[in-house]
Amino acid sequence: MAKKRTSASKTAAAQHAPSSHKSLRPTWEGHLRLSLVTCPVALYTATERTSEVHFNMINPKTNNRIRMQTVDAGTGKPVERADLVRGFEVSKNKYILLEKDELDAVKLESTRIIDIEEFVDASSIDRIYWDEPYYLAPAGKTGIEAFAVIQAAMAKQNKVALGRVVMHTRERVCALEPRDTGILLTTLRTHDEIRSTSEIFDKTLPKPEKGMLEIAEKIIEQQAATFDPTEFKDRYEDALRELIARKKKGKAVTPDAEPEEDDGKVIDLMEALKKSLKGGGAKKRAA
């Protein structure tokens, strides 16, 4: 009977073991820690840019790619990248040079640990602070039970955890929230990174006329829809791919007519609103 129980436990462990990520390379590997509970985890980018069109710089006379060189701005002579060091500019053309071992000396203790410091409501984090999303998953079978406990507790409490992660030598504040059978980790911008609205916006705006405001509200109601990300495509990327396909087939490419520019004339705002309400403006997406 003991052998059967061992076999059954192995089967259960195999069922709950994390799926293989062999085809994906983690951005970061380390440990997730909640108080005294720790488990090994791996961080993966949640978005991909493989669909973007990328270009190379080509010499049209030889059809060869261009190789970029690092050149000394003063002498104009090429410099090997291996010989370069980092420098911080203290005044014009004056730098404090920092060697790799000196930079390594200030690496933070939390380099390989995501410490959960506190839990907050997601609604309490202003959207302007949200930055890059990543998927956080268990790294191997060791500690998967601890990961499951942390993930389930967060889901039950409906809270977002706040912690810190060091990536690319920079410490980032991050938010962690359950997603499917893993955790969505989103890096957060710091308060110092957010530009004050007073630098951009005027202190006051003119008060809208009641009639205009009512029409604008009706236009919004007409164009109300449910957000569907699959309906939004990168039209520029699609146009680039079409252009490349035409060139590949040897077809002529002619630029479209330039769109008419705003002539700067003052428009009748009430008339424009009325026409928009009748369907003269942007068409509502199909539901």
**Which CATH number does the domain housing residue 170 bear?**
2.40.290.10
- The pLDDT assigned to 258 comes to 65
Would you call 40 helix, strand, or coil by DSSP?
Answer: strand
The pLDDT mean for the chain works out to 83
Is 32:140 a contact under the CB 8 Å cutoff?
no
For residue 174, is it within any domain? yes
pLDDT tier at 240, thresholds 50, 70, 90: confident
For residue 74, is it within any domain? no
Full DSSP string of 119-141: EE-GGGS-GGGEEEEEEEEE-SS
CA–CA separation, 274 vs 268, rounded Å? 10
Q: Are residues 135 and 32 in the same domain?
A: yes
Q: Are residues 228 and 172 in the same domain?
A: no
Q: Are residues 132 and 226 in the same domain?
A: no
Q: Are residues 35 and 113 in the same domain?
A: yes
- The pLDDT assigned to 266 comes to 55
For residue 15, is it within any domain? no
Q: Are residues 125 and 250 in the same domain?
A: no
What is the total count of domains within the chain? 2
CA–CA separation, 147 vs 32, rounded Å? 8
pLDDT tier at 12, thresholds 50, 70, 90: very low
For residue 135, is it within any domain? yes
pLDDT tens-digit map of 135-180: 999 998 888 999 999 999 999 998 999 999 988 778 899 999 999 9
pLDDT tier at 30, thresholds 50, 70, 90: very high
Is 164:173 a contact under the CB 8 Å cutoff?
yes
- The pLDDT assigned to 6 comes to 42
Enclosing domain of residue 214: 210-255+263-280
Would you call 173 helix, strand, or coil by DSSP?
Answer: strand
Is 75:52 a contact under the CB 8 Å cutoff?
no
Q: Where would I find the beta strands (DSSP E) of 139-265? A: 160-167, 170-179, 182-188
Q: Are residues 33 and 117 in the same domain?
A: yes
Cα separations (Å) of 174 from 160, 166, 170, 267? 10, 10, 12, 47
For residue 57, is it within any domain? no
CA–CA separation, 227 vs 232, rounded Å? 10
Q: Are residues 161 and 121 in the same domain?
A: yes
Q: Are residues 214 and 155 in the same domain?
A: no
Report the percent of the chain where pLDDT is more than 90. 43
Report the percent of the chain where pLDDT is more than 70. 83
Q: Are residues 130 and 269 in the same domain?
A: no
pLDDT tens-digit map of 214-225: 999 999 999 888
- The pLDDT assigned to 287 comes to 38
By the 10 Å C-beta count (0-12 exposed, 13-18 middle, 19+ buried), 7 is classed as exposed
